[in-house]
Chain A
């Protein structure tokens, strides 16, 4: 299976830099997700792997071979396009075997691969339909079938689930992982949907404005965000970030202060800096209706209903904080008291906005990824 290495890869359109100095490796056989908001350069990155975009500078290697100048057809990869790119004048079968016929594979081999793919992707009975007679989910599976029959070492997927409705998407996510386990190709998958990224990826690479922010496992991306961008980007709602200072066991946020645990105090004490950004996930904020010891006051501004839980947006000392809770009795305008669990804090350098790390006692603190 294919290993892909980006070495100082840049992409420019005229004066506009789309991708800046990209360096990372896609390991052989893994499912790597390129995640980011629209316009961040994730699709361009994928298209550079496919050979559909030229690389302005830098090197792209596949299995050790530099492929910058190798045309897409010779890179031994298959791709599922966002619009599926199924040919409207061909039937399902003709679409699936289009590439195999160009490669002039023996008829028996084509038939065997077709039958296997039709079965695996539950397309039996649709062989002679035209794409316009298929549902969105069926079209997506035909596109996937066309990609897998090629048995290439690398499968590229460009937002393949974005045209499906929410329920179908949950089902298709599982199917994609199953397909990967069956064919074990290297998977590079582009999406703007973080739930897709977290559930499908072995590793997630987050891009912002053409720069790679982080590349790590879904668990680490969520629980050990490498920088403030990642912390805010992943999780819905994203992490609350405050600027504050540390002095003698206490975190000072405006007029309020939080007592830090011994472990955090010792850890921060070793750092030279006293100014930090502090982050806490909405689900790690504890909410109370009455004042307790070590709680702070705020006023509820807005309540977001997620079904099983609620997002409570409240204001404290002029800044907005969001907490997620199962309780349903917080109403806009009401007073609220809250506390942050100092064991679940994230602390970022005030200058480079990178995570300063965690005291050793918290290394096992891995929480469940939550989304709504």
Chain B
């Protein structure tokens, strides 16, 4: 009976794995194909005549190093700022008692449900007014605070027994000692995985940068990708896939480095009270 049920799960997981991996493998494979083969041999995973031409072309036609650097700057700045503000706000919501704490928290959390389309135009007008259009700072600025991170990190902090904090207070530990010496190390998995989530969201952000950025030199990677999909000369899938592969290398690398924290956050959140 036990073997049967585990087999069932294995089959299910294999299907899930196939569904999630297939597009990635498809993208990598297509990026090494010639255009004629991409249309003729759509599903073939191994290119008949593997070529680096697509990659050479994107590096020749675009300031890809600059674009990658822009994307890295935006994603890192957004992630670092958001994590710092989220950690500090979550700490205050968990360990400080102040009037209106719960109300403030509810208001803050309800901002998660405000759609991007609602804030898009006011944000655009503000950024234009302060002259940050066509500037990556204009891309970064509206993304700097976010209630999702406060929510996730607060949940993790709440699972730390209060006696840990009390024991530290008895030792005359100040707030920074408690925050950096005790709370942050224990909430590390949640902080890191929230950070990864912020990073990937910001890395993939398309609509906001496309509104703000005009010059190719200021572009982020998702905008570069779009150049090859809707260009006047028709869509060159192979080149677009090459840009896709370049786009996913950094987030994928970060995931590989931090995967143990990400997994522990998502597996423990269901078990802990």
| Residues of chain A whose beta carbon lies under 8 Å from any beta carbon of chain B | 50-52, 71-74, 77-79, 81-83, 85, 87-89, 98-99, 102-103, 150
How far does the alpha carbon of A207 sit from the alpha carbon of B173 in the complex, in Å?
Answer: 32
Query: Which chain B residues lie closer than 8 Å to A52 at the CB level?
Result: 166, 169-170
- Is the Cβ of A102 less than 8 Å from the Cβ of B173? yes
Residues of B within 8 A of A77 (CB): 170
Cross-chain contact A78 with B186 (CB below 8 angstroms): no
CA distance A13 to B51 in the complex (A): 74
A103 with B161: CB separation less than 8 A: no
Residue of B nearest to A143 (CB): B167
Q: Mark B155-181, 1 if CB is under 8 A from A, else 0.
A: 000000101101111111100010000
Chain A residue numbers with a CB within 8 Å of B168 are 98
Asked whether, in the complex, the Cβ of A85 is within 8 Å of the Cβ of B171, the reply is: no
Contacts of A73 in B (CB 8 A): 169-173
Contact A78 B170 (CB under 8 A): yes
B182 touches A87 (CB 8 A): yes
Closest residue on chain A to residue B177 by CB atoms: A102
B199 to chain A, nearest CB (A): 24
Q: Are B166 and A99 in contact (CB under 8 A)?
A: no
- Beyond A74-B172, A102-B172, A102-B177, whether A87 also contacts B166 by CB under 8 A is no
Task: State the Cβ distance, B270 to closest chain A Cβ, in Å.
Answer: 19
* Chain A hits for B40, CB < 8 A: none
Is the Cβ of A83 less than 8 Å from the Cβ of B170? no
| Chain B positions 209-244 with a Cβ under 8 Å from a chain A Cβ | none
Query: Once the chains bind, are A81 and B172 in contact (CB under 8 Å)?
Result: no
Give the nearest-CB partner of A146 in chain B: B167
Interface size for B (C-beta < 8 A) is 15
Minimum CB–CB distance for B268 against chain A, Å: 13
Cβ of B169 and Cβ of A85 under 8 Å apart?
A: no
Q: Which residues on B sit within 8 Å (CB–CB) of A72?
A: 166, 169-170
Q: Does B185 contact A (CB under 8 A)?
A: yes
CA distance A51 to B168 in the complex (A): 13
Q: Which residue of B lies closest to A158 (CB)?
A: B163
CA distance A77 to B167 in the complex (A): 11
Which A residues are CB-close (under 8 A) to B170? 50-52, 72-73, 77-79, 99
Identify 17 new A-B residue pairs, CB closer than 8 A, beyond the known A72-B170, A73-B171. Answer: A51-B170, A52-B166, A73-B169, A79-B166, A81-B163, A81-B166, A83-B163, A85-B163, A85-B164, A85-B167, A87-B164, A87-B186, A99-B170, A102-B171, A102-B172, A102-B173, A150-B171
Report the nearest A residue to B167, measured CB to CB: A85
The answer on a CB contact under 8 Å between A85 and B166 is: yes
| Bound: A95/B229 CA distance, A | 58
Taking A73-B170, A102-B171, A102-B172 as contacts, is the C-beta distance between A88 and B163 under 8 angstroms? no
3 closest Cβ pairs, A-B complex: A99-B171, A73-B172, A85-B163
Cα of A79 to Cα of B186 in the assembled complex, Å: 22
Are the CB atoms of B173 and A81 closer together than 8 Å?
no
CB nearest to A71 among chain B residues: B169
Kindly report which residue of chain A lies nearest to residue B171, judged by CB atoms: A99
What is the minimal beta-carbon distance from B266 to any residue of chain A, in angstroms?
Answer: 19
Residues from chain A with a CB closer than 8 A to the CB of B173 are 73, 99, 102
Q: Which residues of B contact A99 (CB under 8 A)?
A: 170-173
Q: Which of A85, A89, A150 is in CB contact (< 8 Å) with B185? A: A89
List of A residues within 8 angstroms of B171 by Cβ: 73, 98-99, 102-103, 150
Q: Which residues of A contact B186 (CB under 8 A)?
A: 87-89
Q: Across the interface, which residues of B come within 8 angstroms of A50, CB to CB?
A: 166, 170
